[in-house]
Structure 1
Amino acid sequence: MENSSKEEALKAIEHFILSHEKKMAKKDNLAKDLLVNHGYTENKLSLTQLHIMALINEYPNASNNTFLSKELSISKPAITKAINSLIEEGMVLSKKKENDQKAVYYTLTNSGQQLAAVHDRMHQIAEDRYIQLLDQFSDDELELIIKFLEAWSNQL
């Protein structure tokens, strides 16, 4: 690849990163708007807490600190802090299994299930937008995009 092509690619990456940061701020606002529209106050829950509730909803028999930490790539203490807040808010219940009295597992209350559904809706909206974007590319172009994104992820 020529230097000018590399420079153009570098500029495109820089533009992408800056645009992404701006859009993430808007996405946070959209998430808060969606929560408010469903009757929840905007400052009560973080996106991490919404992700936790979605995982508990999807994997009710596996949802303990270790599982959630691994799935979200965040520390167990961070999971504990988020879970404790969710328990205080009445979104999550903790319990021990009869055959495993060591590990604490989590289930959602009715309110937690409703919020998990809101979170799933937010993800569906995002996925639909990505699919529309990807529909613009051929299979060969998508393979190149995948290769680039994997290489970029390995650089992080």
Structure 2
Amino acid sequence: MESQKRQEAFKAIEHFMLQREKKAKARDVISNLTNREEGWNITQLHIVSLINEFPSDSNNSFLSEQLGLSKPAITKSIKKLIDRGVVKAEKKEDNLKTIYYTLTNDGERLAKVHDELHEKVKGQYNELLHQFTENELDVIIRFMNEWAKRI
């Protein structure tokens, strides 16, 4: 069972990576997952994963809150995902004001690949973090959180 410190360290690393990508606008993290020439960025992949996990909740507000990104940033990523045929925008019968997102078959496939890769990376981080004591993990957590603030 993972310790609370290792879970916190993983969250700090994940947060750091999201912050880094927001500033650097990293592209082409994963290429050709659905036979398209252009790659996918981390934000797009996280959005697809969240829509897959929470299909009835997935609107701009929900995605913005879950990822810690602005609504305009979510809108920009969603537009690209719609254009690439992995996400569909729909309104619910009981709420015609809010747009909700669902995945196409390609989107479901992309979410599956992303989630598998995410679990693999999480395993690699956990293996790495098991080398550190609780006190060392405190330092890593503090360091990663402080580094993310400066990006």
TM-score (norm 2): 0.70
1:137 aligns with 2:132: yes
What's the counterpart of residue 57 of structure 1? Answer: 52
Q: Distance in 1 between matches of 2:109 and 2:72?
A: 25
The alignment's C-alpha RMSD in Å is 2.7
Which range moved further: 53-62 or 39-48?
A: 39-48
Which residue is equivalent to 2:101?
A: 106
What is the DSSP-based 3-state SS (H/G/I as helix, E as strand, rest coil) of the residue aligned with 2:61? helix
Secondary structure of the 1:130 match is: helix
Percent identity between the aligned chains? 46
Could you list the runs of 5+ residues in structure 1 that have no partner in the other structure? 1-20
SS in 1 for 2:100: strand
Higher relative contact order (CA 8 A, sep 6+): 2
Unaligned ranges ≥5, structure 2: 1-19
Q: Which of the pair is proportionally richer in helix?
A: 1
- The equivalent position to 1:124 in structure 2, one of 119, 137, 142, is 119
How far did residue 86 of structure 1 move? Answer: 1.4
Is the partner of 2:131 in helix, strand or coil? coil
Number of the residue aligned with 2:66: 71
CA displacement, residues 94-144 of structure 1 (integer Å, 9 cap, x when unaligned): 111222211100010111010011111221122111111111122343344
In structure 2, how many angstroms separate the alpha carbons of the residues matched to 1:41 and 1:56?
21
Equivalent pairs counted in the alignment come to 127
1:48 is matched with which residue?
43
Which residue type is aligned with residue 108 of structure 2? Q
Q: TM-score, normalised by structure 1?
A: 0.68
